[in-house]
Amino acid sequence: MSASEQKALAAAAALDFVESGMILGLGSGSTAELFVAQLGEALASGALEQIQGVPTSENTAALAREVGVPLIPVDQASRIDLTVDGADEVDGRFRLIKGGGGCLLREKIIANASDLMVVVVDETKLVSDLGAFPLPVEVDPFAFTITAKKVFDALRAAGVKNPDINLRRKGDGLDPFLTDGGNYILDCACGRLPDADDAAEYLSEIPGVVEHGLFIDLARVLIVGEDGGARVMEL
């Protein structure tokens, strides 16, 4: 079974956590987009009603409108009952690396505001130690080279032997990639994060770091698409 098929199974299983009348945080990325599409189908069939979505990216918002998921501005949400989102890596403690698509700031804001975060992934995203996927760190463009040096020092202090930090660029390879909020992203190749908790703490203390892609103590349910089905795990 392909990774895409596994993602679709995980996204479908996440619908079991959705109830009519909920306000949902809608994540970003390929697996989250599959969930949004399936949510639209459930609304069209009448299986779910009175759902309102809060998107974590402009791309997710566009998809939600296309498939018929009603959206509300985040500042009009009285609460966020449930967020469904993907991840670039997940370890055994449900700690995540996110931000491969550049939406980590809004994703973390919505996840933190939600009563429950459900993470949907294919089995290739499961790891014993975080860090093989380059850790995204969103930074203010002002003096970003100074910030990058501080990020390097913070990762070294967290036990990363030789972090390789690169400014993410657009597809042309010339201009910096800009997040929906107008910030830059530093992709930090660590190989392995010996202590993800320490890394998260040190990065959060750096002026100029807007947010980092380590999601600690946010996910409570993990759904893994596997050959032939989806495995649901809860902390």
Q: Are residues 94 and 187 in the same domain?
A: no
Annotated catalytic residue 107: yes
Mean pLDDT of the chain: 97
Please determine, for residue 29, whether its predicted confidence score (pLDDT) is greater than 90: yes
Q: Are residues 101 and 22 in the same domain?
A: yes
Please determine, for residue 82, whether its predicted confidence score (pLDDT) is greater than 90: yes
Q: What is residue 156's predicted lDDT score, i.e. its pLDDT? A: 98
Q: Are residues 17 and 88 in the same domain?
A: yes
Q: What is residue 172's predicted lDDT score, i.e. its pLDDT? A: 82
- What's the number of domains the chain is made of? 2
CATH number, residue 169: 3.30.70.260
**Considering the domain boundaries, does residue 232 fall inside one?**
no
Q: Are residues 69 and 9 in the same domain?
A: yes
Q: Are residues 149 and 121 in the same domain?
A: no
Q: Which of the following is catalytic: 107, 123, 138, 205?
A: 107
**Considering the domain boundaries, does residue 140 fall inside one?**
yes
Q: Are residues 103 and 143 in the same domain?
A: no
Please determine, for residue 53, whether its predicted confidence score (pLDDT) is greater than 90: yes
Measured distance CA(53)–CA(141) in Å, rounded? 30
Q: Are residues 40 and 67 in the same domain?
A: yes
The helix-helix angle for 30-45 and 58-67 (nearest 10°) equals 30
Q: Are residues 200 and 99 in the same domain?
A: no
> Is residue 102 within 8 Å of 136, Cβ to Cβ?
yes
Q: Are residues 112 and 147 in the same domain?
A: no
Q: Are residues 67 and 170 in the same domain?
A: no
Of the chain, the percentage scoring pLDDT greater than 70 comes to 100
> Is residue 105 within 8 Å of 137, Cβ to Cβ?
no
**Considering the domain boundaries, does residue 233 fall inside one?**
no
Please determine, for residue 74, whether its predicted confidence score (pLDDT) is greater than 90: yes
Measured distance CA(101)–CA(145) in Å, rounded? 22
Please determine, for residue 173, whether its predicted confidence score (pLDDT) is greater than 90: no
**Considering the domain boundaries, does residue 152 fall inside one?**
yes
**Considering the domain boundaries, does residue 235 fall inside one?**
no
pTM, 2 dp: 0.95
Q: What is residue 171's predicted lDDT score, i.e. its pLDDT? A: 87
**Considering the domain boundaries, does residue 234 fall inside one?**
no
Query: What mean pLDDT is predicted for residues 165-179?
Result: 94
Tell me the residue range of the domain where 15 lies. Answer: 3-126+217-227
Burial 74-107 (b: 16+ CB within 10 A, else e): beebeebbbbbbbbbbbbeebbbbbbbbbbbbbb
